[in-house]
Copies of this chain bind each other. A is one copy, B any other.
Amino acid sequence: MKNLIALAQLNPKVGDVEYNKNKVIESIKKAEEKGANLIIFPELFLIGYPMGDILTRYPYIANQQLNALDEIKEYCKNITALIGFSEINKNKFGKPYYNSAALINNKKIEKIIRKTLLPNYSEHNDYRYFESHKTDIENRIFNLNGINYGVAICEDAWNDFDFFEKNLYKIDPINEIASKIDVLLCLSSSCSRAKKEQLKHNMMKFCALKYNIKYVYVNQVGANDELVYDGLSRIYNEKGELIFLSKEFKEDLAVFDLDKTDKSIDLTKDKINLQKKEFSLNYEADLDRTYKSIVLAISEYFSKNNFKRAVLGLSGGLDSTVCAVLLADSLGKENVLGVSMPSGITTNESRNDAKILAKNLGINFLEVPIKTMQGCIKSEFENIFYNVSKNWNSRYENSFTNDNIQARLRGMVLWGIANEYASTLPIATSDKSELYMGYATINGDMSGGYAPIADVVKTKLFSLARWMNKNRKEKDAIPTSIIEKPPGAELAINPKTNKPLLAEEALMPYEFLDEVIWRIENLNQSINNMMQFEFLYEKKNVLDKNTKLMWLEKFFKRLNTALYKWYIVPPYPIIDSYSINKIEFKQPIVSNINYSK
């Protein structure tokens, strides 16, 4: 008998046990047809990941999973299945659930393996729901057709004492079973992030080689709110060679012959040097993943929430341009409506760029000048402020009120269209650099149903735009002028230049700004630290210490007042190694940090 293993890299619906169960049964049938004698599903597949607090809220779902397993086991006569689910903890002590995997064999649940290591960092929140269980060595192992398999649930396999310099847990479940198994089966729901693929690869390779075992990794695929799952399930042989790799960002039910000695697959595109902690503008190695992640994230968010169409403002600037391309590729050009909403400040160049972009993409396009509406609001505001000033002092001499009226009127138009047409969602086009700076208008450009590029910094967006022009089927959809002109919100005139104020004039050079973000997220540096290092920008430009300090202080001052904006930013796909305030780096709005230290 052959040892054919099926890797069920599937996309669950969170909380929809019925749907997920049917997917399991269907996959078991298909795998069996292909001759598989073992099928592995991702972690928590029956409930879907991330599950949030839905088990607390709808406790019936726990039992529903048990019933589903009962039904599933009838299909496991000639095939063994390993399925992730959340199991009720019936003891007096501990959290209400376990993060478990059911091993079904011969129409019976042969054993249940419980997750021992519970991640509670970044997007993970396992310890909120699950009790850690030190699964017995014997219980982690089963024999099938002469092969000894060991089972790990995601984090259980992420605590090698040799591979990591520091370890979050004192137990390494893999080390405990490694000498007793031939093949490690790892059920996972591990979302895609910059550099994580390379880390994962290095770690699994290391583990297979260290213990002289085969390493089978099955990952969830799809996207749920912020989290994008790339799939990329895989198998390593005992030499640590990657001998099988599932599709990326797609469901895939692959069947692999474990006895076959396949040629090793080279992960050339992922040869990222994880040791190199240096800021670089060379984003090339991560653009393909970035593009595919966002396109999948948008399509999943729309389809899982029953939306079909997107409407966004097209300013002729980089952010809305990149969003428009991603939306067109994700939802289909006929389902995207770009609205150019010029005010008195908008340049003709921007208007034309927006028009040409829409034409190149083939999306729907509309021009709605906002001058009349703006005039109407402004004249009312004059009157309002006249009256408010009778009782309140401290009216600003130079306020952003008029800048914001423009942005908010645009938001009003987009939400209006979404209100008027079925299944339509407006898009927030803010990018990560500008969100860090709070350089986004509440109820304006940062308002929308989804924010596709909120975790991508500006300098990377430039690279992404160029990359898309080269790598999409329709080449050069983005007019070169959009990529080449310096970014600006075109909400105000710079009195010094008499032209629309540029973002870099209002903030600081993006090359510098993005390196500050990089240093915060990757090195946890504060102003004093940063003053001691030479920025990439300084290698290319003359920058005196006073200006550098001024920029840094400006950055942190703006960051501090941007905390509230992060709190209300719409959902966005996580792309970077570290993500803006919702997932990592959560900071209370009222906090009072000395950023200069």
Instruction: Write the residues of chain A forming the contact surface with B, with a CB cutoff of 8 angstroms.
Output: 13-16, 18-19, 48, 50-54, 56-61, 64, 92-95, 120-121, 125, 127-128, 166-170, 223-225, 300-301, 304-305, 309, 334, 337, 364, 366, 368, 372-373, 376-377, 380-381, 384-385, 387-388, 391-392, 394-396, 399-401, 404-405, 408-409, 411-413, 415-417, 419-424, 442-443, 447, 449, 520, 524, 526, 564, 567-571, 584-595, 597
A372: chain B residues at CB < 8 Å are: 376, 380
Interchain CB contact (< 8 A) of A392 among B52, B64, B364, B443 = B364
Q: Which residues of B contact A442 (CB under 8 A)?
A: 415, 447
| Pairs across A and B, CB under 8 Å, 24 listed | A15-B591, A15-B594, A16-B591, A18-B594, A19-B592, A51-B588, A58-B526, A94-B168, A94-B169, A224-B588, A337-B388, A364-B392, A368-B384, A373-B376, A377-B416, A380-B413, A388-B420, A394-B422, A396-B419, A401-B419, A401-B420, A404-B415, A412-B412, A415-B443
- What 3 A-B pairs have minimum CB-CB distances, sorted nearest first? A304-B590, A394-B422, A376-B376
- CB-nearest residue of chain B to A171: B93
Contacts A53-B586, A387-B366, A570-B567; A597 near B60 (Cβ below 8 A): yes
Residues of chain B within 8 A (CB-CB) of A376 are 372-373, 376-377
A297 and B127 alpha carbons, distance in the complex (Å): 29
**Residue from B384, B400, B592 in contact with A15 in the complex, judged by beta carbons closer than 8 Å:** B592
How far apart sit A170 and B443, CA to CA, in the bound complex (Å)?
48
Given contacts A225-B588, A419-B404, contact A411 B443 (CB under 8 A): yes
Would you give the shortest CB distance from A33 to chain B, in whole angstroms?
Answer: 28
Question: Knowing A167-B93, A384-B413 touch, does A60 contact B590 (C-beta < 8 A)?
Answer: no
Contact among B92, B128, B569, B571 with A121 in the assembled complex (CB-CB below 8 Å): B128
What is the CB-to-nearest-CB distance from A593 to chain B, in angstroms, rounded to a whole number?
Answer: 4
Residues of B within 8 A of A420 (CB): 381, 385, 388, 395-396, 399, 401
B443–A412 CB distance below 8 A: yes
Which residue in B16, B364, B404 is a CB contact (below 8 Å) of A391? B364
Cβ 8 A contact of A53, one of B48, B127, B364, B584: B584
Number of copies: 2
How far in angstroms is the closest Cβ of chain B from A130? 10
Knowing A401-B416, A420-B399, the reply to whether A16 touches B408 (Cβ < 8 A) is no
- Most chain B CB within 10 A, of A64, A380, A401, A591, is at A591
Chain B residues with CB under 8 A of A388: 337, 364, 366, 417, 420-421
Give, as a whole number of angstroms, the nearest-CB distance from A484 to chain B: 31
- A421 to B377 alpha-carbon distance, docked (Å): 17
Expressed in whole angstroms, the minimum distance between the Cβ of A385 and any Cβ of chain B is: 6
Instruction: Report how far A585 CA is from B420 CA in the complex, Å.
Output: 31
Question: What is the bound-complex CA distance between A445 and B31, given in angstroms?
Answer: 53
B384 x A380 contact (CB < 8 A):
no
Which residue of chain B is the closest to A593 with respect to CB atoms?
B15
Residues A95 and B225 in contact, CB atoms below 8 Å apart: no
Contact, CB under 8 Å: A415 / B408: yes
Q: Which residues of chain B have C-beta atoms less than 8 A from A415's C-beta? A: 404, 408, 442-443
Q: Are B95 and A168 in contact (CB under 8 A)?
A: yes
B170 touches A93 (CB 8 A): yes
B524 lies within 8 A of A56 (CB) = yes
Q: A419 contacts B399, CB within 8 Å?
A: yes
The answer on a CB contact under 8 Å between B422 and A589 is no
**Please, which residue of chain B has its CB at the minimum distance from the CB of A389?**
B421
Q: How far apart are the CA atoms of A422 and B397 in the complex, in Å?
A: 10
